[in-house]
Amino acid sequence: MKLFHHAMALLLCGLCVGASAEPLDEPLKPLPAMPSQDARHVELGRRLFHEPRLSINNTLSCASCHQLDKNGADSRALSLGFDGKPVAVNTPTVFNAALNFRQFWDGRVETLEEQSNVVITSPHEMGSDWHTVIERIGNDPDYRRDFAAAYPDGVTQANVQQALASFERTLLTPDSRFDQYLQGNTDILTLEEKYGYQRFKEYGCIACHQGVNIGGNMFQKFGVFGDYIADRGNPTVADQGRFNVTGDEADRAVFKVPSLRNVAITAPYFHDGSAPTLERAVDVMFQYQLGRMPSAEDKRLIMLFLTTLTGQREDKP
């Protein structure tokens, strides 16, 4: 009988251990594995990402606004373009941008390759043109040699765009504590953080912030229960959001829902950078998107949960 009880205890213990390692069946999912890519393309993309010669006056690189040593974005409400003037919208983090279904706040392009074209040729951002870029990169003997080794046709617009996108696809931030929780390590979160996730679901935040990127996979009107932009004042053309792309009145003030990954370290928030703190952003979301305000305790718990979404930078090929 003692042997029987001992065997049953071992079996139950094994089941418990196995259960703790089983992924949770939740609407949010952990980050996928980094895609396999040509390391030569990634390395060229890394160099180009930090290359100020992509801008017309050699002053601005992708990394100038997407600061990889910080949060993949810019701490300013509005980044400065090549001419030192503020651009129209807040710089979103480049971390996990490869998982977004579209790029830019207004979703005007679908791919990272298209995104680099828009930024490089934008009269407000890098202000350059592809003839100038290809000439500068092609005249650099190191770039010329390495592009020739990585691409049959060497330095071309398509190859520069592809290399940049290859590097950006490595900018995932896996292994957040919440990812580890979803993968079955249920002890990694505190009880209060788990309650925060529960409140996040119960209040309806998860209706828009969903999927592997906890956002970035749909459009939504900014201001469902009130006109945030009117209340903020001084409306701009950029505040019209997706309307500027489609001309459809239903798309006025509609934006791509941002990812909440690393949200605790990517202030300021929203397309206009108008929320300087995470607490302010949460208040605005409740008032204007959900139409109700949480208790102070529920808000505190949700903010605790949001801090668990900070991942580890992983940008190596």
Query: Catalytic site residues?
Result: 125
Token pair 């949480």 is found at 294
Residue pair 130/120 in contact (Cβ under 8 Å)? The answer is yes
CA-to-CA distance for 227 and 57, rounded, in angstroms? 39
Give the relative orientation of helices 130-138 and 141-150 as an angle to the nearest 10 degrees: 100
Residue pair 173/313 in contact (Cβ under 8 Å)? The answer is yes
Residue pair 250/220 in contact (Cβ under 8 Å)? The answer is no
Structure tokens of 50?
A: 């930090």
How far is residue 102 from each of residues 1, 88, 121, 198, 289, measured CA to CA in Å?
Answer: 63, 18, 19, 28, 21
| Helices within the chain (DSSP H only) | 2-21, 39-49, 62-65, 112-121, 130-138, 141-150, 157-168, 177-182, 191-202, 228-232, 243-246, 278-284, 296-307
**Which has the closest alpha carbon to 92: 69, 111, 67?**
67
Rg over alpha carbons for the chain, rounded to the nearest Å, is 22
221: DSSP letter: E
Q: How many residues in the chain?
A: 317
The number of beta carbons lying within 10 Å of the beta carbon of residue 255 is 22
What one-letter code names the amino acid at 186? T
Q: What angle do CA 136, 142, 146 make, to 5 degrees?
A: 105
Cis, peptide link before residue 268, omega less than 30° from 0: yes
**Which has the closest alpha carbon to 23: 212, 153, 240?**
212
CA distance from start to end of the chain: 57
